[in-house]
Amino acid sequence: MNRRSFISTSGVAAVGFGLSGCATTTSNAKTAMAPRRPRPMLQVAPVRASWDRIIRTTVGLRPHRDSGFVLKADRLDDKLLVHNYGHGGAGMSLAWGTGLMATEFALEHQARRVAVIGCGSVGLTCARQLQRRGFDVTIYAAAVPPNVTSNMSLAGFTPSSGLVVNDQRTAAWDAQYHRAYDIAYRQLQLLCGHPLSGVSWLDNFALTDRDPATSVPPSPDRPAPLPDGADTEREIFGPGEHPFDTKYAIRSAQIRIEPNIYLDWLMRDVVLFGGRILVRKFDTPRDLASLSEPIVINCTGLGARDLFGDKELLPLKGQLVVMVPQEEVRYHTNGGTHQPPPPGSLGIHMMSRRDGIILGGTSQRDVWTMEPDEAERKRVVDAHIAVFSAMKDVRV
């Protein structure tokens, strides 16, 4: 299972270290394979992980459906109703893509006034995609940032995180996913150059004792894994080449989204382009039918379970522990412990952000409580303390 999702992967891609030959001095000289020279030790600042540096613990309920997100057009009396929800832990990653695809349904209607229901990442990006195509948008939501689930996410570009169960996938759904992935990944890449967006690139280190040159053989009864954002070049650091207490550290570039900056920036953009954001709760589809806008786009996430009776929706409870920020720590890690996570838990992961050092590794299926799980909190914090206390400080 992927570290943050239900999607199986085929293991770490193989990376070769081939080095060839030497010059010949005589006609019968033999070509020899030169030994690979150890590289200088990778230098990264260690995280000062300790219980007395913790400043908060947050809980969010990811809106998961075993068959994946819903993206389709429907009718609500004389209104066009477009559903765009159920993104699991991938809402921050895929939202620009599914937002554009929801907008394409709206473009088939002659009206250009839209009500977007929901003010998380999915609702805000959908509103911006609509505005870019000439729609007058009003967002209606029971809560606005920072009091939405999107604010409680880690959040890197992890587009298959907690998204779908393999045996529930269909060819049509896969095609939607691939298109949403392509659109969202490109959009987020462009935002990395924006000074106010909260989107940036940083190094990700996968810490493992497993030889990266090995892979899990493909299985004929398992669908091909979905792309998960790991399409950048990987650099493998072996024993003695990195400061972490694992045999290997695999470095790749990853997009980081800082929710508290990103969501505020999106709200300002919606208003700047003439949109309105109104706090309002809807209990039934009849309430939506009373709106004046002829097009309604449902971006309510887990709220769609009660609002539209989608009983397939269930929460994946996530929990993050936040430590005091460290300006010198500018990377992300996943893994690093020498033991696998207990059943029902995820591998640990750390994200450096301006609002703190974020520690995660929790995904509890169908758990609805918003109270922190103290056992999970202790597991995640203690594991990160072990990882970073064993790390060599090799800075010069």
Whether 164 and 67 have beta carbons less than 8 Å apart is answered as yes
Quote the crossing angle between the two packed helices 121-131 and 91-107, to the nearest 10°: 40
Same domain, 216 and 108: no
Q: Are residues 295 and 157 in the same domain?
A: yes
In a domain, 32, yes or no: no
Tokens of 358: 């974020």
Rounded Cα–Cα distance for residues 23 and 15 (Å): 26
Same domain, 109 and 189: yes
The CA-based angle 224-230-231, given to 5 degrees, is 90
Please choose, from the candidates 119, 130, 268, 286, the residue with its C-alpha nearest in 3D space to the C-alpha of residue 194: 268
Please report whether residue 263 resides in a domain. yes
- Average pLDDT value for residue range 281-286: 95
Average pLDDT over residues 257-272: 97
Region 74-93 average pLDDT: 96
CA 225 to chain centre: 16
Share of the chain above pLDDT 70, in %: 87
Residue 367 lies in a domain: yes
What is the rounded distance in angstroms from the CA atom of residue 323 to the CA atom of residue 309? Answer: 39
| Parent domain of 171 | 64-199+258-306
121 shares a domain with 173: yes
Between the two ends of the chain, the Cα-to-Cα distance in Å is 38
CA distance 119 to 143: 7
Q: Mean pLDDT throughout 158-186?
A: 95
96-130 burial by CB neighbour count: b if 16+ within 10 A, else e?
bbbbbbbbebbeebeebebbbbbbbbbbbbbbbbb
pLDDT tens-digit profile of 5-15? 434 333 333 33
Give pLDDT, residue 31. 39
For residue 4, pLDDT over 70 is answered with no
pLDDT band at 394 (very low <50, low <70, confident <90, very high): low
**Residue carrying the six token digits 């070769």:** 16
In the numeric block, the tokens 């990006």 are attached to: 125
Q: Is 234 in contact with 15 (CB distance < 8 Å)? A: yes
Boundary-marking domain end, from 246, 275, 306: 306
Asked, for residue 34, whether it belongs to a domain, the answer is no
**Beta carbons of 258 and 355 less than 8 angstroms apart:** yes
DSSP code per residue over 77-143: TTEEEEEEE--TT-HHHHHHHHHHHHHHHHHTSS--EEEEE--SHHHHHHHHHHHTTT-EEEEEES-
pLDDT for position 232:
79
pLDDT digits (tens, 9 = 90+) for 115-159: 999 999 999 999 999 999 999 999 999 999 999 999 999 988 999
Q: Residue 155: its pLDDT value, please? A: 86
- Domain assignment present for 10: no
Instruction: Report pLDDT for 393.
Output: 72
**Assigned domain for 83 exists:** yes
Query: Do 209 and 353 share a structural domain?
Result: yes
Query: What average pLDDT does the segment 316-338 reach?
Result: 95
> Lowest mean pLDDT: which of 29-43, 208-222, 232-246, 266-280?
29-43
Does residue 23 have a pLDDT over 60?
Answer: no
Same-domain pairing of 156 and 71? yes
Count of domains forming the chain: 2
- CA-CA distance, 90 to 105, in Å (whole number)? 22
| Position 247 in a domain | yes
Average pLDDT over residues 243-268: 96
In this predicted structure, what is the pLDDT of residue 28?
40
Residues 291, 365 share a domain: no
- Check whether residue 135 and residue 272 sit in a common domain: yes
Q: Mark whether 277 and 375 lie in a shared domain.
A: no
Q: At what angle do helices 259-272 and 121-131 cross, to 10 degrees?
A: 30
- Taking all residues of the chain, what is their mean pLDDT, rounded to a whole number? 88
pTM above 0.85, yes or no: yes
pLDDT at 56: 97
Any idea what the CATH number is for the domain that residue 185 is in?
Answer: 3.40.50.720
| pLDDT for 39 | 73
Per-residue confidence band for 33, with pLDDT thresholds at 50, 70 and 90: very low
Could you tell me the pLDDT band of residue 18, with boundaries at 50, 70 and 90? very low
Contacts of 93 (CB under 8 A, 6+ apart): 155, 156, 157, 158, 159, 161, 184, 188, 229, 257
Least confident of 19-23, 32-36, 65-69, 197-201: 19-23
380 and 346 in a single domain? The answer is yes
Q: CATH number of the domain that 211 lies in? A: 3.30.9
pLDDT in tens, 354-375: 999 999 999 999 999 999 999 9
So what's the pLDDT on residue 220? Answer: 62
* CA angle 215–221–225, rounded 5-degree value: 50
Shared-domain flag, residues 55 and 177: no
- DSSP characters for 297-318? EE--GGGHHHHS--TT-EEEEE
- Look up residue 131 and give its two tokens: 């505005």
Question: Alpha helix locations (H) across the chain?
Answer: 91-107, 121-131, 171-191, 259-272, 285-289, 304-307, 374-389
Q: Is residue 363 part of a domain?
A: yes
Structure tokens at 181: 């992935």
Residue 231 DSSP SS3: coil
Helix (H/G/I), strand (E/B), else coil: 164: coil
Q: Are residues 221 and 275 in the same domain?
A: no
Alpha carbon 148 to its chain centroid, in Å, reads 16
Q: Is the pLDDT of residue 257 over 60?
A: yes
Mean local confidence (pLDDT), 23-32: 38
